[in-house]
Structure 1
Amino acid sequence: EHHQKLWDNTNYFRKELQNLGFDTGVSTTPIIPVMCGESSIAKAMTKSLAEHGVMAGAIVFPMVARDKARIRTQMSSGLSMDDLNQVLSIFEKVGPKVGLI
């Protein structure tokens, strides 16, 4: 039951991020990247998300190539659809502010 919920959440969140215009890379796991390119954009996105109560890590150089910075999100079976939709609305709000979408 938890395993199925994890994958339902993963697939929904990835699809909705893509529908909003975010690049989620090629991951097929519950760790869903949001590709940012430049480290400054990933850091700005992480900061803006945190200001809205969303924790997501910036993965930047030297952990990845200079032009491959990303935000790391991780799904959980404990998240409800309301939780996911709330986070998605925050991504939709802050993405344009940092020039990501």
Structure 2
Amino acid sequence: MDGLRYAPGYLLAAVLVVVGLALGYAAWLGWAKGLGVPWAAVALLMSVFGRLNVFTLVGAYFYANLHLNWSIEHSIAFACLGLIYITPGVVGHFIELFTRRYD
């Protein structure tokens, strides 16, 4: 029965992975339709190797605006889902910045 204690954490991790993959796919489609496949590839490479995660935010906006034909306000709200994946990294960076000891 002790193993069930970790079940909610595993379930949340699985949900975050699935949502992240779906949002990444939507971002790819948005970049590809909005600016073209070469720019989508550049944005994806910048996101993966440059740790610059505007790929998800801008791509999700393009997807909602161009594919789903949503208004600007709704497209921005949809793009804000990408903040779920940006915020922990930014917060972790600031915590490290303020708690680092300089000897």
TM-score exceeds 0.5? no
- More strand per residue: 1
Rg larger in structure: 2
- More helix per residue: 2
Of structures 1 and 2, the one with the larger relative CO (CA 8 A, separation 6+) is 1
Shorter chain as denominator, the TM-score bin is: under 0.3
